[in-house]
Structure 1
């Protein structure tokens, strides 16, 4: 595996990360590896929008929806 070095991390940031890792019962390295891995697996907003666009297509028009609403109201 490859090692990653992050430079110029402030002491306050490092301390906050150490605390979060400790609260989770993990080492700093394990905590950061989990964080980076989770981020790498999370799709970007653009990818999510593309997927939503692809999977949520509908042939129902606005007028069809409004007609169905009106029909439902008339049945009351």
Structure 2
């Protein structure tokens, strides 16, 4: 496993993170690792847009408004 070191963390940011870690019942290191994992799992906006571009277009009915009305009326 790799190590990451972050220098010059503002005192208020450090305090806030320690409080959040304690509230979660975790050490600061555990908490930060969890947050980094969450961040790495979440796609960036650019990644989402690229997936949409790769998926291509979707054919919609010619009269979308009529299709929506029909769906609403069916309920």
Q: State whether TM-score is above 0.5.
A: yes
Matches within 5 A, 1:32-71: 32-53=32-53, 54=55, 57-60=57-60, 63-68=62-67
Paired residues in the alignment total 70
State the Cα distance separating 1:35 from its structure 2 match: 0.5
- Normalised to the residue count of structure 2, the TM-score between the two structures is 0.75
Indicate the RMSD between aligned Cα atoms, in angstroms.
2.3
Most deviating of 11-20 and 40-49: 40-49
Alpha-carbon distance change, 20 to 69 in structure 1, aligned in 2, over 3 angstroms = closer
Q: Based on CA coordinates, which of the two structures has the bigger radius of gyration?
A: 1
